[in-house]
Amino acid sequence: MGKDKYFLINTQTGLIMPAQQHISPHHNVRPENMAITLLVIHNISLPSGQFGMPHVHALFMGHLDVQADPSFAELEGLRVSSHAVIWRDGQVTQYVPLHQRAWHAGVSSYQGQPGCNDFSIGIELEGTDTLPYTQAQYDALIPLTGALLAHYPTLSVDAIVGHSDIAPQRKTDPGKAFDWHYYLEAVRHFHRV
């Protein structure tokens, strides 16, 4: 349950340690005095269902070669990011400092409040809706979530959702392959310890 991993959050910089850092140009400042009250779990793979490729990194860094795969044509000009990605091997890469607004949610709403990017943290899991996530990913996601809950008293386990929950007409991730019961029970246990 992620007992071997730990994460610390630098209050000044919003950086997650010991995550690898690659700061995306696709972020901006959150609205003034906006509390972080939501954690959104996503999935991503480019091309879909292919893992270990450089394309997700390139997309978030703003230099995806849309000629590299026919499915990338629809991504031309897209400016997106996430606070962090957890790869299949459990390694974590941070793309946006936590106190900044990542562009992960798109048109979205949570409990009647639109614009979820304003008040949320977005974490991407390298994966698809239908293929099981790896244990290494859960073993990173659980302690990372615990660190976020400890760092942000305005965030609670009850405010952890999937992208599909805040944009149900557009999104389906993290999908049926994501084991919400295992994850949330482990987070509750990890957060109590």
Q: For residue 28, give Cα distances in angstroms to 55, 98, 117.
A: 22, 11, 10
Query: Which residues is 58 bridged to in the sheet?
Result: none
Residues that are catalytic: 124
Give the relative orientation of helices 180-192 and 135-151 as an angle to the nearest 10 degrees.
Answer: 50
Euclidean distance between CA atoms 120 and 87, whole angstroms: 21
Phi-psi region of 84 (alpha: psi -120 to 50; beta: other; left: phi over 0): beta
Question: Three-class SS of residue 130?
Answer: coil
Q: Distance from first CA to last CA of the chain, Å, rounded?
A: 12
